Structure 1
Amino acid sequence: MRLPLVAGLATLCVVLAGCSSKVADTTQYSGYLADYSKLKPTESPSGHQTLRWVSPDFKLSDYRGIYYTPVVYYPAAKPTARVSQATLDKVRAYLDQQLKTAVAERKPLVNQAGPGTLVMKTAITAVNAENQDMKFYEVVPVAAVVASTMAASGHRTQNSVLFLEAELLDAKTGKPVVEVVRKAYGKTVPNSSTPINEAELKSAIDEMVRDVVTFPAQ
């Protein structure tokens, strides 16, 4: 095999390895949930990939209401050169408002957790951006070299990304009945230096909230 071809294929492998995944991988788990081993890849009601576990005994109809706890950052949010504190605050506030409204469409919200209720806990675990998936015309050695160079120099178009971890707990037992790890894409940004703000991430939040509203009742 000729060396240029070997080099091209090697570069292609590196670039493909850096492509964005549709779901969070194990290195992106935050520790917010107690047990990730039960999570399985599945499709959300809108057809997007997610990681989810639902207790085989869980029936939403068994509960009279949901005690909703405000969305938090886990670990505690720290502003960066790309994501300001103002953006972090606006993202959390928007998600909290939209999610609470969506949950209330499924079950009445209660002011206190108790028998016959669920407790909902949600955390934003990362606000980030990552290189876009390779397009079919880039998956050739020469184009792969170009794409790799762009990625290394920070000029490749990126997806804004929001990571979310959530669980529903049986208020009486304290045990989880639903656990979800969701990775959602917002709008694209031109390169790795472009700041990320709430406008880029609203579509990611809206998509996740729609899935809450249409989550199959049991």
Structure 2
Amino acid sequence: MKVALAIGLSSLLLAGCASNLSKPEDYSGFLKDYSRLKEAKSPSGAPVMRWIDPQLDSKAYTSVYIEPSQFYPKPAPTAQIPATTLKGITDYYDQALKRELGKSLPLASKPGPGVIVVRPAITAVSSDVEGLKPYEVIPIALVVAAASTAAGSRDRQAEIATEAAFLDGGNQKVVAQVVRKGTGKELENDKTVLRPDDVRQVIDGWAIDLHQSWLKLKGK
């Protein structure tokens, strides 16, 4: 049975526009095989790239183990994206996944038979806006959102991406994968320090979609 458990993840944004569909050039290398990914829609209608093992039987899983989320590649903190923000983002991602998936499955303390394992990462995104230099490879990139006709300045938004693998806790076989992007709050300028709150709405959307995917799967 299909596990859309997978995926809403990265499951992971504001419903949407095609520009938020991850492209091969966005892939970080966190997942071992991207060749099976296909374009799909999350329960909220957001574009995702995902793969689900057609042999997957969701009834075989009675609990879920969520590995601590990580940044991939590992970033160096900056003045605009300090270490406290990076930690706050992964901490919140973990909380959101446990909060939502815990509504459908008991949380396991470790992998094992009958356990579906979620292995999430926040991955690098770089700017592809015409006329702008790509940003350094960091997990969160500030990208131009719009030109202000009044002041002639540019507003900026925080854009993040996720990649996640879903594994059978008994044999560690990958049973699903997802890649997804999201856009957070507008930031005042390129000196504004990014805070975890600026991307929490995106992370909440990822986790909620994952939960809704699991509910749909259970209903089949």
Q: TM-score, normalised by structure 2?
A: 0.75
Q: Which has the higher contact order (CA 8 A, sep 6+)?
A: 2
Matching residue within 196, 205, 214 for 1:198: 196
RMSD: 2.2
Matching residue within 157, 160, 164 for 1:159: 157
Shift of 1:56: 0.9
For the residue of structure 2 that corresponds to 1:205, the secondary structure is helix
Higher helix share: 1
Aligned to 2:128: none
* Unaligned segments of structure 1, at least 5 residues: 1-19, 135-145
User: Structure 1 vs Structure 2: percent identity of aligned residues?
Assistant: 33
Structure 1 CA distance for aligned equivalents of residues 118 and 23 of structure 2: 23
Preserved contact between residue 146 and residue 154 of structure 2 (Cα < 8 Å):
no
Structure 2 CA distance for aligned equivalents of residues 133 and 207 of structure 1: 23
Please state if 1:186 is matched with 2:184.
yes
For the residue of structure 2 that corresponds to 1:167, the secondary structure is strand
Aligned to 2:5: none
Preserved contact between residue 80 and residue 191 of structure 2 (Cα < 8 Å):
yes
Aligned to 1:173: 171
CA shift digits 1:116-148 (9 cap, x unpaired): 2221111111222222379xxxxxxxxxxx9xx
Structure 2 CA distance for aligned equivalents of residues 217 and 49 of structure 1: 19
Q: Point out the structure with max Rg over C-alpha.
A: 1
- In structure 2, relative to structure 1, the CA distance for the partners of 1:180 and 1:133 (3 Å cut) is farther
Structure 2 CA distance for aligned equivalents of residues 200 and 119 of structure 1: 28
Superposed counterparts of 1:1-218, under 5 Å: 21-125=19-123, 126-132=139-145, 155-215=153-213, 216-218=216-218
For the residue of structure 2 that corresponds to 1:213, the secondary structure is helix
For the residue of structure 2 that corresponds to 1:105, the secondary structure is coil
For the residue of structure 1 that corresponds to 2:143, the secondary structure is strand
Structure 2 CA distance for aligned equivalents of residues 78 and 217 of structure 1: 39
For the residue of structure 1 that corresponds to 2:102, the secondary structure is helix
* Unaligned segments of structure 2, at least 5 residues: 1-17, 124-138
Q: What amino acid is aligned across from residue 213 of structure 1 in structure 2?
A: H
Preserved contact between residue 59 and residue 217 of structure 1 (Cα < 8 Å):
no
Q: TM-score, normalised by structure 1?
A: 0.76
Greater CA drift, 155-164 or 91-100: 155-164
